[in-house]
Structure 1
Amino acid sequence: MRRIKAGIIGCGSIAKNRHAPEYKANPYVNEMVFYDRNPERAATLADMFGGSTAHSVDELLADSTIQVVSDCSSNEYHHIFSTKALLNGKHVLCEKPISLTIDQANQIVEAQKKSGKILMVDHNQRLTRAHQKAKKMIENQVLGKVLTFRTTFGHKGPEHWGINKTNGTWFFKKDRSGFGVAGDLGIHKIDLLHYLLDDEIEQVSAFQGSLHKVTEAGDPIEVCDNIVCSLKTKQGRLGTASFSWTYYGEEDNSTIIYCENGILKIYHSHEYQLEVITKDGEKINYKLENIQTNDNQTNSGIIDAFIECVRLDKPPIVSGEEARSSLNVILGMLEAAETNRVVTVSSSISSIKVN
C-alpha cells in the first residue's frame, strides 16, 4: 500500500512539526527525501523520520521516483521551487502564502497548467470539522443570510515557533516574509472567509504597525506584527479582521458569522468548537475537535488531503488560483494601510485600485 515517495524542500519548523510527521503517518507514503540549504537540518529530519537527504533542490527534483513535493521554503522561494517542481513532473503542496507577488503566483499557476500536475496550497483551516460544518450551515441558510462577520488570528509570534527560536527569524525580514503577520496568519483567514462565505473580499481598509517585535539588534522589525482591517465582499457582506503576533496570553483563532436569524461562533469557546445562537436566544453547542495551535500540534489533515487528491486524481482542496486570490487581498490590505485609503481588490488579479 505504501508506495508514494515525497520530497520536502525546506526543513524548518513547518516541515518538522507538520509536513514530515503527517507524511510519516500517511499509509500511502513510504519514503521521504529532505533538502535544506543547511544540510544539518535536512539530516536531522531524515534521522527523525527515517528518510534520506538530497544535496540540492535540483538533485531532489531530478529523482524520478519522487512523485510529490512539499515546498516548505521561506516565502521568497515559493515561485522558484514550486514552479521547478511542477515542471519536473511533481505534484506540489506549497506552503502559504503562494508567493510574494501576483506575477510570481502567476508563474506557479502557469507551471501547474503546463505540467498537468496537482498544485495545492496549504490553507489548512478549510479542513477542520468546525469550519466544514459551519460552511454547510451557511450554505443551507440555517440562520438565514450572512450579514456581517469578524475574524482574528493571533499568537505570541514566530520567534517562539521558528526552528531557531530567535528574533533573527526570517519571518521578521521584509525581503523574505514580505508581509509580516498579514502573510503568516492573515492569509489563512482570508482564504477561510472566501471558503465559508462562497464569496470574495472586494474592498479593504486597514491599519498596521510594528508595535512590539524587535530584531536581534533591538530595532523594530521591518514588517507588521499587527494589522487590523475592515472588509467588504462582492456580495456586500461587511466584516472586520485582526491579525497579531502579540497575543501573549494565548492563541486566538476565532471567527464569528452574524446572520439574519442568529450567530455562528467558531473556535470562540474552549469547550465548544462551534456555537449556534439563534435570535430567540436558543443555544446549540457542538463539540468537534480543537484547532491546531503552535503549542498543541495535531494532525492538520493537509497531507492526507493532498495525497488523496494525488492518488485519486481529485481537484486540490485549495487551488493555486484560490491561493492567488487570497494573496491579492493581502496585497490590498497592505496597500490600504500604507496609503490610508480604501482599496478595491481587482478581480482581474492584475492590479489594485486605491480609492
Structure 2
Amino acid sequence: MGFNVGIIGCGSITRFRHAPEYKANPHVEEIVFYDRNIERAKRLAEEFGGRVAEKLDDLLLDPTIVAISDCSSNEAHHIHTPKALLSGKHVLCEKPIAVSVEYAENIVEAERKSGKKLMIDHNQRFTKVHQKAKEIIQMNELGEVLTFKTTFGHEGPESWGVTKSNATWFFKKERSHSGVAGDLGIHKIDLIHYLLDDEIADVHAFHGALDKVDEHGKPIEVCDNVVCALQTKKGRLGTASFSWTYYGAEDNSTTIYCQKGIMKIYHDPDAQLIIEMNDGSVIKYELEQIQTNDNQTSTGVIDAFISCIVNDENPPVTSHEAIASLKVVEKILGTD
C-alpha cells in the first residue's frame, strides 16, 4: 500500500534525515512540503521530487496524506502536532516533544482523542550498536549495571543549520527553550532510559553559555554546555555531558559499568561496541558507524514510523517515553 506524507518545516533535519528517508521508503509515494518560508519548501520539493503546500491547512486537509513529520522548531511542536493528529494524520514529531512537560500533555491529549499514532524522533534507539548493547544488558551477560557515563557533543548547530549562521533558532530562548540540553542531551537521556530499562529520577547539574555568541556578538540566551550527575529509579549512578563546544570530532560515546565488565559504546570508530570483561577478555563488535552531522546515513526512524502505520503497531518511541526524557531536561535546567 502506498500513500503520501507531509513535512512541516523545511530545515536541515528535513533535508538530511526525513526527506531522504521517506523518499527511500517503498510505501511512500509523494512527499508534500510546508514551510512558513515557501522558498525553502520549493527547494526541497525540487530536490526530492515532491510538491509544496502553500498553507498549513492545505497539508492537514489533504486526504492523500496519511502521515506527517513535524520538523518545526521546538516552540511550535505543541501547536502543529495536535493539529495534525486531530486532522486524522499519524505524526512523527521531532524531539523534544515540546518545550515543557505541560505543553507535551496537550499533545498527548490530542493523541488520545484522535486515536492516531504519535512517535517521537529519539533516534539513538535505532542504531544497531545501541540495540546490541541493550540485548547484552537484558541477557544479564555482564551482571547488573552499576554506573554509567554518556556524552554528546559537537561544534554546534550553527555548523549544521541551513544558513550556517549563528542567527540559528537553536540559540534563541523563545524558540529553542533548552539549548544543548534539548538538542543533544535529550537524546542521551532517552538512550539511558532505553538501554537500562530504567528512568533518571534525580539530577544535579551545571549548565551555562560558555562560548557561543549570537549574530550580534552577545552570549547566547540558552546553554551551550551541560554537565550533570544522575541517579536512576533503580539506584544506578551516572554522569552526562552535553556540548555545542567540542571543537574537533563529534563525541557520541557511552560507557556502561557492570558487575562483570565494562561496555564501551562508540569510543572506537572501527569497533563501535567493545566489551571488556573482568577476566581480561575483550570482545569487539564492528556494527556500523554512528550517524553524525558529517556522516549522513539512514537513522531507521522513518522506516520504523512507516512500519508501525502499515502494520498497525505501537510506535517504538511513545509520547510517554518522550515526556519521561523531557522531565529530566526540566530538572537539569531547574524549570520543573
Range of TM-score over shorter length: over 0.9
Q: For the residues of structure 2 that align with 1:195 and 1:311, how far apart are their CA atoms?
A: 24
Kindly report the root-mean-square deviation, in angstroms, between the aligned alpha carbons of the 2 structures. 0.7
Shift of 1:213: 0.4
Q: For the residues of structure 1 that align with 2:57 and 2:256, how far apart are their CA atoms?
A: 46
Q: For the residues of structure 1 that align with 2:117 and 2:303, how far apart are their CA atoms?
A: 14
The Cα offsets for residues 316-346 of structure 1, whole Å up to 9 and x where unpaired, read as 010011101100000001118xxxxxxxxxx
* AA of the residue aligned to 2:165: T
SS at match of 1:114: helix
- For 1:171-320, list aligned pairs within 5 A: 171-320=170-319
Shift of 1:268: 1.0
Q: For the residues of structure 1 that align with 2:129 and 2:227, how far apart are their CA atoms?
A: 24
Query: What is aligned with 1:340?
Result: none
The Cα offsets for residues 73-98 of structure 1, whole Å up to 9 and x where unpaired, read as 00000010000000000000000000
* AA of the residue aligned to 1:283: V
* AA of the residue aligned to 2:152: F
Q: For the residues of structure 2 that align with 1:247 and 1:281, how far apart are their CA atoms?
A: 32
Q: TM-score, normalised by structure 2?
A: 0.99
SS at match of 1:67: strand
- For 1:16-55, list aligned pairs within 5 A: 16-55=15-54
Unaligned runs of 5+ in 2: none
1:154 aligns with 2:137: no
Query: What is aligned with 2:77?
Result: 78
Shift of 1:100: 0.5
Q: For the residues of structure 2 that align with 1:312 and 1:19, how far apart are their CA atoms?
A: 20
Query: What is aligned with 1:343?
Result: none
Q: For the residues of structure 2 that align with 1:36 and 1:312, how far apart are their CA atoms?
A: 30
Q: For the residues of structure 2 that align with 1:57 and 1:292, how far apart are their CA atoms?
A: 31
* AA of the residue aligned to 2:158: E
The Cα offsets for residues 226-262 of structure 1, whole Å up to 9 and x where unpaired, read as 0000000000000000000011111000010000000
* AA of the residue aligned to 2:50: G
* AA of the residue aligned to 2:109: E
* AA of the residue aligned to 1:56: K
Unaligned runs of 5+ in 1: 337-351
Q: TM-score, normalised by structure 1?
A: 0.94
Query: What is aligned with 2:3?
Result: 4
Q: For the residues of structure 2 that align with 1:4 and 1:284, how far apart are their CA atoms?
A: 44
Q: For the residues of structure 1 that align with 2:188 and 2:139, how far apart are their CA atoms?
A: 22
Q: For the residues of structure 1 that align with 2:280 and 2:161, how far apart are their CA atoms?
A: 43
Shift of 1:209: 1.0
SS at match of 2:211: coil
* AA of the residue aligned to 2:7: I
- For 1:159-174, list aligned pairs within 5 A: 159-174=158-173
Q: For the residues of structure 2 that align with 1:8 and 1:158, how far apart are their CA atoms?
A: 21
Give every structure 1 segment of 4 or more consecutive aligned residues whose post-TM-superposition deviation is greater than 2 Å: none
Shift of 1:306: 0.3
Q: For the residues of structure 2 that align with 1:287 and 1:276, how far apart are their CA atoms?
A: 12
Query: What is aligned with 2:142?
Result: 143
> How many residues were matched structurally?
336
SS at match of 1:70: strand
- For 1:57-136, list aligned pairs within 5 A: 57-136=56-135
Q: For the residues of structure 1 that align with 2:3 and 2:143, how far apart are their CA atoms?
A: 45
* AA of the residue aligned to 1:284: I
The Cα offsets for residues 29-78 of structure 1, whole Å up to 9 and x where unpaired, read as 01010000000000000000000001111111011110000000000000
SS at match of 2:326: helix
Shift of 1:140: 0.8
Q: For the residues of structure 2 that align with 1:330 and 1:55, how far apart are their CA atoms?
A: 35
Q: For the residues of structure 2 that align with 1:108 and 1:148, how far apart are their CA atoms?
A: 34
Identity over aligned pairs, percent? 65
* AA of the residue aligned to 1:211: L
Q: For the residues of structure 1 that align with 2:155 and 2:138, how far apart are their CA atoms?
A: 34
Q: For the residues of structure 2 that align with 1:211 and 1:174, how far apart are their CA atoms?
A: 16
